[in-house]
A = this chain, B = another copy of it.
Amino acid sequence: MLHDEHEQYMEDALKMAEKAAALGDIPAGAVIVHGDRIIARGYNTREASEDATGHAEIMAIREASEVLGSWRLLDCDLYVTLEPCLMCAGAIIQARLRRVIFGAYDPKSGMAGSVANVFDLPANHRVEVIGGVLQERCGDVLRDFFAKRRKDKSFDETD
């Protein structure tokens, strides 16, 4: 796949991230692609839904499973604006996704190389990982959100 095709799908994931920000959630967005078609979308709803498992990747994985009628998302690629955390890296492996393509690196919680690379741990399924697609713009969405949040001082900074 050409790099600009990755960028096109990451644009769609960015639109999802903006939905999260609009609801007051840390802006991360994801889409899942099967063939040449987006079959599922998700964005972080942790605060809005009071559910710690409501990350963009999990939301997209659950929707894709409904669409395909199977928990095995074989030959599917997940695009996400932020490097996956431990939970989401695990969910990506559990769902048998073929590939994860992410935007911004997360030095605090990113588990695809930043804090650790859990995709390299022994598992019965291997996922190809590509990082840094539209990295600047994916990072800007987060920086803008946190700058506004500091200004509003309406959130607990320890999370």
Contacts and interface: CB of A to CB of B under 8 A. Distances in A.
Contact of A54 (B52, B71, B89): B71
Given A47-B71, A89-B86, A122-B115, A53 B94 contact: yes
Contacts of A94: 52-53, 55, 85-87
A6 interface: no
Interface string A32-55: 000000000000001101111111
Contacts of A135: none
Interface residues of A, number: 42
Contacts of A111: 90, 121
Contact of A52 (B72, B118, B158): B72
Interface stretch (A12-20, A61-69, A98-106, A141-149): A61-69
Interface string A107-137: 0110100011010011110000000000000
Interface of A: 46-47, 49-55, 58, 61-62, 65-66, 69-73, 85-91, 93-96, 108-109, 111, 115-116, 118, 121-124, 158-159
